[in-house]
């Protein structure tokens, strides 16, 4: 233990020195000299408005204005000022500006009638562009227009998403129905899930509590929802074995849901009297204060088993390492890719990404959930097929396939 | 009432969210913004539940003289001082001296220090990886070392390590992340679907 | 009095004296910050009263901090300010002339319903508020994840395996692309739940876990230096801002 501590301190110091060296070694950026160009003496020409394009796939109120300007004047024009009115002789309102050398402007108007920047759909709009030169001379363009904006009923760029939603819905419904009919669905074993019972049993034998951490996600985060289901199973077992359970929460809504889940589990196990709202409590919704609190619970209550299932950020490693130092069995799972490595290194079992979502189906063996799991697998199969076909199509120079898989927002 | 209303509500609200994604109309965008604002406001109401729970647990410990009950007094003192300083309007909502100084000289240092504990924990985790016996764990360790050493000056080896580190980040790292993300995407979609249609209802509890 | 107790009193005395001296020399605020920093660091040795103090203070104060933040930043401008602007005009004068929005009664009612769970009889009604939040996010998640985590990732992986550059065939880039392609496919195979990992499929899954492990290692290594720099930051605070030893 002492050697380990020495090594840890040593490693930290080494890393510290490296970091400090790197920080000091960073040289300061150089500033580029600005180039002053000479200005022509003749007055600048007028900008010429060439088009006003309605932005597609939106609710309207947006227009891209394009104009032309001689390139040789680029250096002498400081900016273009853009104006809009609802009639050619109306009151032109200044919208904004574009830097010299830029020949388009995205006019994002307001959809509210009482807003001075109101931009109605399906009505004529007129524009004017003023070029302002370095010497302060302003030249107005001819009035451009009429242009119109319009809203659309359907976002065509999102067709692939719509197809995806429909296909996935069909798969899910199909597999859920076949699972309901009693068709046996195979699922491969997951070590992290199989260890759950053993971990609860161990805590019972040792007469020590079980700590269940739901992470710092909200009640509607997918990872948290998956964790609720697992919590229900764990709590039921815990109630049957009469082991102590502690569920410190970060989010108050998560806390109230978790209270419901655990209360129901105790009821199902026939031990409603053992439940109290003090098992599932709120700590704080500040990330590191929450960690400080859980660390305290760990070193004082010495739980035999720690579950970290849900959404986790930087705190994952602090929790897992503290849990490790007290010798607890640790089962973790998160869909946060950056945190999975820390759990893999510091915990006994880690559910990686989708495995966490799948865990609820594993534990419940509910045909509905198993059916949905099967649909996910089909989704993966489709992903693989699309990738393979896409790569082949690209190899034969057929780029349309890739284009089809593009969502244009 | 207890189950049907919430399940119907989930279905209607989620269906609306899906439809508004595809239909770019003013009225839907208007409603969408409202819904998002509402969820945030409900979230703040929920904080009251949290404060109540914190009070309840801390007060309970003090009353029962449970182990370490003295520290629960510290929790409640922190809670009340911060609430009083944060809520007294005369002290200038949020711009008051006590509240701001408690934030900068109590909360910030503790938070930054908790975060910096990671420097030690990451070292001890790396040490655990050092003792790796399995091939998979050794692979993890090897990749980690290469990435860690990529900025360290080591003479002629430096460029090789830096190139290898760049390659690992660009190639296998990218591949695995994509696979994980596709899996997560499918799992998240399936969960969303199950919630919409009332198949997944663990969040409603049971009774 | 036993030795352990005596030692803890001696430590307490030292801490108190150091605290007082520090206040006299460096001022109150920076001293508080520095001592709380040291209290948290003391956890690395073992759990102790000083850590417990900082931890409990942190928990209570942070919960209240977010509570008042939520009140002033969300409730006042977005709920009360929209429901009946004159009510909050003294706090946020900018809202004074905004029209009242009766629709904001809905979150007010849902918020109150949520609080009903504190009652043992009407607790079930809080689920209405919960259903609203969960439903909103579920609908959003469905389309959002489908686009960014599914279609977008597949699209990114559809590329040419055969890469050329100015001087012709680029072997290195071609190998890299083949590995990305194979890595994604094998990674996906690993995540198959309803098929046994046997035979060729099993080999794919095993390759998948190898790629995953390399990635986890890389991600781990990538974070180390960032975490160490946090420690550098705290040391700068202690030795610079507080003790004035480095500038």
Mean pLDDT score, A322-329: 93
Q: Is C245 on the interface with B (CB under 8 A)?
A: no
Residue A29 has pLDDT above 60, yes or no: no
One of 1.10.10.10, 2.60.40.10, 3.40.50.1580, 3.20.20.10 is the CATH number of A48-147, namely 2.60.40.10
* Domain encompassing residue C223: 160-242
Mean pLDDT score, B8-19: 94
Q: How far is CA A401 from CA A111, A253, A388, B181, in A?
A: 37, 44, 11, 22
- A186: distance to nearest CA of chain C, Å? 5
Cβ–Cβ below 8 Å for B207 and A264: yes
Sign of CA dihedral B139, B145, B147, B150: negative
Cβ–Cβ below 8 Å for B179 and C62: no
My answer on whether C165 and C115 are in the same domain is: no
Q: List, in sequence order, every beta strand (DSSP E) within A86-221.
A: 93-99, 104-108, 125-133, 138-140, 144-147, 210-215
pLDDT band at A407 (very low <50, low <70, confident <90, very high): confident
- The residue ranking higher by pLDDT, A153 or B61, is B61
My answer on whether C202 and C179 are in the same domain is: yes
Cβ–Cβ below 8 Å for A342 and C225: no
Give domain status of residue C77, yes or no: no
Q: Is C159 on the interface with B (CB under 8 A)?
A: no
Q: Over the range A105-129, which residues count as b (16 or more CB within 10 Å of their CB) and which as e?
A: bebebebeeeeeeebebeeebbbbb
Give residue A30's pLDDT.
36
Instruction: Mention the CATH class of domain A191-365.
Output: alpha beta
Q: Is A382 on the interface with B (CB under 8 A)?
A: no
My answer on whether C147 and C165 are in the same domain is: no
Interface of A with C in 242-261 (CB under 8 A): 253, 256-257
Q: With H, G, I as helix, E, B as strand and everything else as coil, classify residue A67.
A: strand
Structure tokens at A343: 């759990």
Residues A66 and A51 sit within 8 Å (Cβ to Cβ):
yes
Give domain status of residue C202, yes or no: yes
pTM of the model: 0.87
Residues B176 and C212 sit within 8 Å (Cβ to Cβ):
yes
Which residues pair with residue A107 across a beta bridge?
Answer: A63
Burial (0-12, 13-18, 19+ Cβ within 10 Å), B136: middle
Nearest C-alpha in C relative to A282:
C63
- C160: distance to nearest CA of chain A, Å? 6
Domain boundary among C89, C123, C158: C158
Give domain status of residue C105, yes or no: yes
For the stretch B110-150, pLDDT in tens is 999 999 999 999 888 888 877 767 888 888 889 998 998 88
Give domain status of residue C205, yes or no: yes
Give residue A21's pLDDT.
63
Nearest C-alpha in A relative to C136:
A220
- B50: distance to nearest CA of chain A, Å? 5
Residue A28 has pLDDT above 50, yes or no: no
Cβ contacts of C127 within 8 Å, gap of 6 or more: B2, B6, B204, B205
Residue B191 has pLDDT above 70, yes or no: yes
Q: What is the distance of C-alpha B98 from the center of its chain?
A: 28
Q: With H, G, I as helix, E, B as strand and everything else as coil, classify residue A36.
A: coil
Dihedral-angle region of residue A215 (phi above 0 means left; psi in -120 to 50 means alpha; beta otherwise): left
For chain A, the domains span: 48-147, 156-183+368-404, 191-365
Give residue A34's pLDDT.
40
Q: How many CB atoms lie within 10 A of CB C139?
A: 26
Cβ–Cβ below 8 Å for B53 and A281: yes
Q: How far is CA A357 from CA A362, C131, C192, in A?
A: 10, 20, 13
Q: With H, G, I as helix, E, B as strand and everything else as coil, classify residue A400.
A: helix
Residue carrying the six token digits 């699972």: A179
Give residue A332's pLDDT.
95
pLDDT band at B95 (very low <50, low <70, confident <90, very high): low
For the stretch C125-139, pLDDT in tens is 888 999 999 999 999
Structure tokens at B196: 């919409």
For the stretch B38-83, pLDDT in tens is 999 999 999 999 999 999 999 999 999 988 999 999 999 999 998 8
pLDDT band at A24 (very low <50, low <70, confident <90, very high): low
Structure tokens at A394: 């690209």
pLDDT band at A42 (very low <50, low <70, confident <90, very high): confident
Interface of A with C in 327-356 (CB under 8 A): 337-338, 340-342, 344-345, 352-355
* Whole-complex ipTM: 0.92
Q: Is A194 on the interface with B (CB under 8 A)?
A: no
Comparing CB atoms, the residue among B68, B114, B188 nearest residue A292 is B114
Give residue A26's pLDDT.
55
Cβ–Cβ below 8 Å for B125 and A380: no
For chain B, the domains span: 1-66, 119-193
Chain C residues near residue B181 by CB distance under 8 angstroms? 149, 153
Q: Determine if the peptide bond prior to A146 is cis (ω within 30°).
A: yes
Q: Is B122 on the interface with A (CB under 8 A)?
A: yes
Q: How far is CA C199 from CA A118, A311, C22, C205, C206, in A?
A: 65, 34, 69, 10, 11
Mean pLDDT of chain A: 85
Residues of chain C under the 50 pLDDT cut: none
Q: What is the distance of C-alpha C159 from the center of its chain?
A: 35
- Max intra-chain CA distance, chain A: 94
Cβ–Cβ below 8 Å for B57 and A172: no
Cβ–Cβ below 8 Å for B196 and C131: no
Give domain status of residue C148, yes or no: yes
Chain A residues near residue B38 by CB distance under 8 angstroms? none
Q: What is the distance of C-alpha B5 from the center of its chain?
A: 30
What does the DSSP 8-state code read for residue A221?
S
Give residue B92's pLDDT.
45
Residue A2 has pLDDT above 70, yes or no: no
Residues A218 and A254 sit within 8 Å (Cβ to Cβ):
yes
Q: Is C124 on the interface with B (CB under 8 A)?
A: yes
Cβ–Cβ below 8 Å for A341 and C59: no
Number of domains chain C contains: 2
């Amino acid at each position: 233990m002492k050697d380990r501590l020495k090594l840890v301190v040593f490693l930290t110091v080494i890393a510290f020195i490296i970091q400090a060296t790197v920080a000091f070694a960073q040289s300061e950026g150089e500033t580029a000299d600005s180039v002053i160009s000479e200005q022509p003496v003749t007055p600048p020409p007028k900008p010429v408005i060439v088009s006003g394009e309605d932005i597609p796939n939106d609710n309207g109120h947006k227009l891209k204005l394009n104009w032309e300007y001689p390139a040789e004047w680029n250096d002498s024009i400081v900016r273009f000022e853009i104006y809009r009115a609802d009639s050619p002789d109306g009151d032109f309102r200044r919208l904004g500006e574009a830097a010299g050398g830029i020949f388009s402007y995205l006019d994002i108007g307001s959809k509210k009638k009482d807003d001075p920047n109101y931009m109605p759909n399906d009505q004529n709009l007129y524009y004017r562009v003023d070029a302002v030169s370095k010497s302060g001379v302003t030249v107005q363009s001819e009035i451009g227009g009429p242009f119109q904006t319009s809203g659309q009923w359907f976002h065509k760029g999102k067709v692939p998403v719509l197809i995806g939603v429909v296909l996935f819905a069909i798969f899910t419904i199909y597999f859920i129905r076949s699972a309901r009919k009693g068709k046996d669905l195979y699922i491969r074993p997951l070590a992290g899930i199989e260890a759950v019972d053993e971990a609860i049993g161990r805590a019972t034998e040792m007469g020590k509590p079980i700590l269940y951490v739901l992470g710092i996600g909200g009640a509607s985060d997918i990872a948290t929802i998956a964790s609720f289901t697992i919590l229900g199973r764990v709590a039921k077992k815990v109630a049957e074995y009469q082991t102590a359970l502690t569920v410190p929460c970060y989010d108050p809504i998560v806390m109230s849901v978790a209270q419901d889940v655990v209360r129901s589990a105790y009821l199902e196990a026939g031990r409603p009297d053992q439940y109290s709202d003090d098992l599932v409590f709120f700590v704080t919704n500040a990330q590191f204060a929450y960690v400080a609190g859980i660390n305290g619970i760990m070193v004082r209550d010495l739980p035999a088993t720690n579950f970290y299932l849900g959404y986790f950020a930087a705190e994952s490693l602090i929790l897992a390492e503290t849990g490790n130092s007290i010798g607890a069995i640790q089962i973790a799972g998160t869909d946060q890719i950056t945190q999975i490595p820390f759990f893999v290194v510091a915990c006994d079992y880690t559910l990686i990404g989708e495995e966490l979502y799948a865990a609820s189906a594993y534990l419940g063996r509910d045909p509905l959930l198993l059916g949905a799991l099967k649909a996910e697998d089909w989704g993966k199969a489709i992903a693989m097929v699309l990738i393979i076909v896409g790569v082949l199509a690209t190899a034969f120079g057929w780029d349309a396939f890739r284009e089809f898989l593009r969502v244009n927002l | 009432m207890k189950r049907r209303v919430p399940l119907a509500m989930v279905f209607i609200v989620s269906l609306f969210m899906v439809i508004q994604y595809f239909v770019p109309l003013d009225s839907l965008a208007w409603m969408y913004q409202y819904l998002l604002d509402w969820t945030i406001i409900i979230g703040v109401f929920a904080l009251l539940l949290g404060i109540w729970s914190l009070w309840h647990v801390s007060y309970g410990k003090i009353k029962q003289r449970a182990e370490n009950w003295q520290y629960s007094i510290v929790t409640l003192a922190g809670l009340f001082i911060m609430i009083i300083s944060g809520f007294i309007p005369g002290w200038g909502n949020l711009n008051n001296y006590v509240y701001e100084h408690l934030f900068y000289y109590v909360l910030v240092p503790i938070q930054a220090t908790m975060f910096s504990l990671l420097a030690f924990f990451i070292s001890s985790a790396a040490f655990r990886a050092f003792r790796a016996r399995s091939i998979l764990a050794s692979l993890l360790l090897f990749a980690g070392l290469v990435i860690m050493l990529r900025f360290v000056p080591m003479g002629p080896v430096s460029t090789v390590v830096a190139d290898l580190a760049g390659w690992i980040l660009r190639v296998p790292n990218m591949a695995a992340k994509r696979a994980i993300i596709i899996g997560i995407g499918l799992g998240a979609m399936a969960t969303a679907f199950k919630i919409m249609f009332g198949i997944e209802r663990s969040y409603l509890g049971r009774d | 009095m036993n030795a352990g107790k005596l030692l803890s009193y001696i430590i307490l005395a030292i801490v108190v004296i150091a605290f007082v001296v520090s206040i006299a020399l460096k001022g109150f605020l920076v001293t508080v910050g520095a001592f709380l920093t040291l209290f948290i660091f003391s956890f690395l040795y073992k759990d102790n009263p000083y850590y417990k103090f900082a931890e409990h203070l942190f928990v209570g104060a942070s919960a209240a901090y977010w509570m008042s933040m939520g009140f002033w930043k969300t409730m006042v401008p977005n709920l009360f300010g929209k429901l009946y602007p004159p009510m909050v005009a003294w706090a946020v004068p900018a809202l004074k002339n905004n029209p009242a929005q009766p629709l904001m009664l809905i979150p007010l009612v849902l918020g109150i319903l949520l609080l009903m769970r504190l009652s043992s009889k009407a607790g079930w009604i809080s689920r209405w508020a919960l259903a609203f939040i969960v439903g909103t996010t579920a609908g959003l998640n469905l389309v959002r994840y489908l686009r960014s985590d599914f279609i977008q990732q597949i699209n990114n992986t559809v590329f040419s395996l055969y890469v050329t550059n100015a001087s012709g065939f680029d072997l290195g880039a071609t190998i890299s692309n083949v590995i990305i392609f194979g890595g994604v496919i094998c990674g996906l195979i690993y995540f198959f739940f309803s098929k046994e990992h046997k035979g060729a499929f099993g080999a794919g899954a095993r390759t998948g876990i190898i790629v995953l492990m390399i990635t986890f290692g890389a991600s781990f290594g990538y974070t180390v230096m960032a975490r160490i720099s946090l420690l550098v930051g705290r040391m700068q605070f202690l030795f610079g801002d507080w003790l004035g030893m480095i500038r």
